Amino acid sequence: MSNRSVLLSVALCALAVVAVIPVSASAAPQLTYPTGTRLAAESKVTGTNVGSVKFTTSSFTADCNPVVLTGSLASNSGTAMELSVTSASFTGTGSGGDCTSGLGDVRITSNPATNGLPWCIRATSGMSPDEFRIRGNSCTNAVRPLRFVLDFTSPVLECIYEKIGEIAGSFTTEPEDARLSISGSFEKLEGGFLCPTTMSLDMTVTLEADTSSSSDPMYIS
């Protein structure tokens, strides 16, 4: 057999091997509860902090524990996992349940009047593995900023911080419980000279099924 014929045979065999290799579609992560069962859309979900949630600036760190997020699953289709957060409670050991900081007790809210809740948490097949993103507004509407208001009681001081666009985070997958971790930087929107120009948010929450008084863990697969 000539060299040309040998090369042709090798090329045809290579094409045949490629043809029988299945092409796997890139699947999005999905939230499951119980284990292995895809959770239905509109299911209620609770996010509870793991460790302290911290709002850190160059001059103070606000420490919140416990923190509870609640909402419902907007989509869990296999191409997108989207969670709408409709309430967010940031509390601590300070007076009246306020968070604590080096500047004293501080009440932290998501600024419900402007650019407050809802938030959208989503993961899609187009993102990096184990990546999710959080942004302002519901998942079906246009992206809007995320905003936090920090109200200190002594000294009396209000600092407002905003993040334009999305914050990327990471999640854990089965067999570990579903945990979401984010670390994002916010810019000062309003506040006096005692309010530093930037603030970072560091938060990890465990997702649980809001089915009973003792919530049950969920998984991401």
One DSSP character per residue, 149-192 reads EEEEETTEEEEEEEE-S-EEEEE--TTS--EEEEEEEEEEEE--
Low-confidence ranges of the chain (pLDDT < 70): 1-27, 211-215
Which token pair is 101? 């900081």
Residue 10 pLDDT:
38
Residue 22 pLDDT:
38
Residue 21 pLDDT:
36
Distance from C-alpha of 16 to C-alpha of 6, rounded to nearest angstrom: 15
- What's this model's pTM, rounded to 2 decimal places? 0.84
Residue 79 pLDDT:
81
Residue 183 pLDDT:
96
Beta bridge partners of 98: none
Residues 58-97 have pLDDT tens digits of: 999 999 999 999 999 999 988 889 999 999 999 999 999 9
